[in-house]
Amino acid sequence: MNDNASAGDGFAAAARPIATQSVIHTDTEGLVAGLASLAVDGQAVPVYHARPAGQDKLPVVIVVSEIFGLHEHIADVARRFAKQGYLALAPDLFVRQGDPSTIPDITTLMARIVRKVPDAQAMGDIDACVAWAGRNGGDVDRLGINGFCWGGRMTWLYAAHNPRVKAAVAWYGKLVADPNPPGQPRHPIDVAPALTVPVLGLYGAKDTGIPLATVEKMTAALGAGTSDSAIVVYPDAGHAFHADYRPTYNAKAARDGFARALAWLREHGVG
């Protein structure tokens, strides 16, 4: 695996944001931020990274995107973590399948790109991010992962895949699927009883795509294990309540969720 970090602190790629007045813009003052390219099995995987300038041996947090991929909102979340003292890395896990910003609707996006990403491929790309972090100022003994929607599901799965993760935060990641798409053999409900990594799940009671019944099943499955994981449900929030660039944004739940995420990571040694 080779890597090549780019200079600069900008991030030009964008998804299909829906303009709102609530979009948060986190500056790069005091940070080093930009794109790196990781070579994973011959594929160049772009990774946005942000960190406090002039610091080393930083706690590491991987930021996993929703179905719209690596775009400005996800880069901004990475900068938010960097402002809190983290080396944050956000990989483009869809790079082999296509560019989500070119797909006009969610149904097509799911069919052409998202459902074609094998879980093993995503796990390998995140492993490569962790390795890059260890060579570039990160302390991988203080490793966390935070993901949204599709990335929330990946967060649960990566916590099961890599027991070196100290703590994880999964925002409204789907918990069950029937039937399982090709290359996606397990889902969070399947790995919950055997988890050893503490995962904080953040969900919305009004999320029509993730029924509360499945959240309750996940809570029961976690209770059968020893990971000390927890799920918080926001009664007034729906899906994508953290996405400040979409009308689904719920500022109160988003702020509380991010505060809980930071506290969870620090409580479990990532900070």
pLDDT digits (tens, 9 = 90+) for 218-256: 999 999 999 999 999 999 999 999 999 999 999 999 999
Q: How confident is the model at residue 182 (pLDDT cuts 50, 70, 90)?
A: confident
Q: What dihedral angle (degrees, nearest 10) is formed by the CA atoms of 230, 167, 46, 43? A: -100
| Catalytic residue status for 239 | yes
Residue 152 near residue 170 (C-beta atoms within 8 A)? yes
Distance CA 46, CA 129 (A): 10
- Of 264, 261, 270, nearest in space to 80 by CA: 261
| Catalytic residue status for 25 | no
Q: Burial of 266 by CB count in 10 Å (0-12 exposed, 13-18 middle, 19+ buried)? A: middle
- CA 239 to chain centroid: 15
Q: Catalytic residue among 49, 73, 161, 239, which?
A: 239
Q: How confident is the model at residue 18 (pLDDT cuts 50, 70, 90)?
A: low
Q: What is the mean pLDDT of the chain?
A: 93
Query: For residue 170, is pLDDT > 90?
Result: yes
- Of 158, 146, 157, 160, nearest in space to 196 by CA: 160
The pLDDT value given to residue 179: 77
Does an H or E element contain 207, and which? none
- Of 209, 216, 215, 217, nearest in space to 238 by CA: 209
Distance CA 106, CA 33 (A): 30
Angle at 93 between CA 245 and CA 191, to 5 degrees: 100
Which of the following CATH numbers is that of domain 3-267: 3.30.70.3420, 1.20.120.530, 3.40.50.1820, 3.40.50.720? 3.40.50.1820
Q: What is the arithmetic mean of pLDDT over 57-63? A: 99
Q: Catalytic residue among 207, 242, 244, 268, which?
A: 207
Q: Catalytic residue among 125, 149, 187, 268, which?
A: 149
Percent of the chain with pLDDT over 70: 92
The pLDDT value given to residue 15: 44
Structure tokens at 165: 């993760």
Distance CA 19, CA 228 (A): 38
Q: How confident is the model at residue 54 (pLDDT cuts 50, 70, 90)?
A: very high
Please tell me whether residue 206 adopts helix, strand or coil conformation: coil
